[in-house]
Amino acid sequence: MEASFWHGKRASGVADEIDFNEFTTVVDVIETSFSRYAERPAFTSLGCTLRYQDIDSYSAAFAHYLQNETTLKPGDAIAIQMLNTLQYPIAVYGALRAGLRIVNTNPLYTEREMIHQFNDSGVKALLCLDIFAKSVENVQEETHLELIITTSLADMLPGVKRVVINTAVKYIKKMVPKYYLPQAISFRKLLKRHLGKGFNKTHLTGVNDTVILQYTGGTTGVAKSAELSNESLIANMLQSRSTMVQKNQEGKQMLGNKQSIMVAPLPLYHIYSFAIHLMTFFSKGEHSVLIANPRDTESVINAMKPFKVTGILGLNALFISLMENSKFKALDFSEMVFTLSGGTALFDDTAKRWREMTNVGISEAYGLTECSPAVCMNPMNGAEQIGSVGYPLSGTALKCIDINGVEVAIGERGELCVKGPQVMKGYWNRPEATKASFTDDGQWLLTGDVATIAEDGYVRIVDRIKDLINVSGFNVFPTEIEDVVSNHPSVAYCAAIGVPHEKSGEVVKLFIVVNNGEILSVKDVVEYCKIQLTAYKVPRYVEFRSELPMTAVGKILKRKLRESIL
Q: What does the pLDDT read at residue 25? A: 97
Examine the domain organization and report whether 421 and 485 are in the same domain. Answer: no
Is 261 within the bounds of a domain?
A: yes
Q: What does the pLDDT read at residue 113? A: 85
Is 35 within the bounds of a domain?
A: no
Minimal CA–CA distance to 427: which of 440, 415, 436, 439?
436
Is 25 within the bounds of a domain?
A: no
CA distance 301 to 177: 28
Examine the domain organization and report whether 231 and 378 are in the same domain. Answer: yes
- The β-bridge relationship of strands 445-453 and 414-419 is antiparallel
Of 411, 432, 464, the one marking the end of a domain is 464
Length reported for the chain: 566
Is 43 within the bounds of a domain?
A: no
CA distance 149 to 448: 38
Examine the domain organization and report whether 370 and 441 are in the same domain. Answer: yes
pLDDT band at 137 (very low <50, low <70, confident <90, very high): very high
Q: What is the mean pLDDT of residues 101-122?
A: 92
Q: Quick one: how far is CA 329 from the chain centroid?
A: 25
% of the chain residues with pLDDT over 70:
99
pLDDT digits (tens, 9 = 90+) for 31-66: 999 999 999 999 999 999 999 999 999 999 999 999
- Whether the pLDDT of residue 219 is over 50: the answer is no
Q: What is the mean pLDDT of residues 165-175?
A: 96
Examine the domain organization and report whether 270 and 318 are in the same domain. Answer: yes
pLDDT band at 163 (very low <50, low <70, confident <90, very high): very high
Task: Enter the DSSP assignment of 440.
Answer: T
- How is 450-501 classified by DSSP, letter by letter? EEEE-TTS-EEEEEEGGG-EEETTEEE-HHHHHHHHHTSTTEEEEEEEEEEE
| Cα–Cα–Cα angle for 196, 202, 208, rounded to 5 degrees | 140
Q: Which residues contact 171 (CB under 8 A, 6 or more apart)?
A: none
Minimal CA–CA distance to 477: which of 466, 463, 465, 487?
463
CA dihedral 74, 79, 85, 87 (to 10 degrees): -30
Cα separations in angstroms, 223 against 121, 433, 499: 11, 11, 25
User: Within 13 Å, how many C-alpha atoms sit on residue 181's CB side?
Assistant: 29
Q: What is the mean pLDDT of residues 483-501?
A: 92
Q: What is the mean pLDDT of residues 536-549?
A: 94
How far the first Cα of the chain sits from its last, in Å, is 42
Examine the domain organization and report whether 398 and 458 are in the same domain. Answer: yes
Q: What does the pLDDT read at residue 218? A: 40
Is 70 within the bounds of a domain?
A: yes
Task: Enter the DSSP assignment of 40.
Answer: S
Global pTM value: 0.87
Is 29 within the bounds of a domain?
A: no
- Whether the pLDDT of residue 336 is over 50: the answer is yes
Examine the domain organization and report whether 476 and 460 are in the same domain. Answer: no
Q: Which residues face 17 on adjacent strands?
A: none
Examine the domain organization and report whether 304 and 426 are in the same domain. Answer: yes
Of 418, 444, 464, the one marking the end of a domain is 464
Q: Where is 44: in which H helix or E strand?
A: strand 41-45
**Contact (CB, 8 A) for 418 and 437:** no
CA distance 191 to 106: 24
Tell me the CATH number at 225.
3.40.50.12780
**Contact (CB, 8 A) for 270 and 343:** yes
Q: What does the pLDDT read at residue 221? A: 47
- Whether the pLDDT of residue 157 is over 60: the answer is yes
Q: What are phi and psi of 316, to 5 degrees?
A: -50, -50
Examine the domain organization and report whether 266 and 229 are in the same domain. Answer: yes
Examine the domain organization and report whether 374 and 478 are in the same domain. Answer: no
Examine the domain organization and report whether 228 and 142 are in the same domain. Answer: no
Q: Which domain holds residue 201?
A: 49-205
Is 166 within the bounds of a domain?
A: yes
Question: How do the residues of the chain divide into helix, strand and coil, expressed in percent and rounded to 5?
Answer: 35, 25, 40
- How is 346-399 classified by DSSP, letter by letter? PPHHHHHHHHHHHS--EEEEEE-GGGSSEEEE--SSS---TTS--EEPTT-EEE
Tell me the CATH number at 97.
3.40.50.980
Tell me the CATH number at 497.
3.30.300.30
CA distance 219 to 461: 15
Examine the domain organization and report whether 194 and 260 are in the same domain. Answer: no
Q: Which of the pair, 33 or 256, is modelled with greater confidence? A: 33
Q: What is the mean pLDDT of residues 325-354?
A: 89
Is 44 within the bounds of a domain?
A: no
CA distance 168 to 178: 15
Return the number of other C-beta atoms located less than 10 Å from residue 504's C-beta.
Answer: 14
Of 428, 446, 464, the one marking the end of a domain is 464
Helices and strands in the chain, H and E counts = 18, 25
Cα separations in angstroms, 488 against 168, 320, 529, 536, 556: 42, 14, 10, 20, 19
Q: Which residues contact 535 (CB under 8 A, 6 or more apart)?
A: none
| Cα–Cα–Cα angle for 300, 127, 287, rounded to 5 degrees | 40
Examine the domain organization and report whether 96 and 183 are in the same domain. Answer: yes
**Structural domain count of the chain:** 3
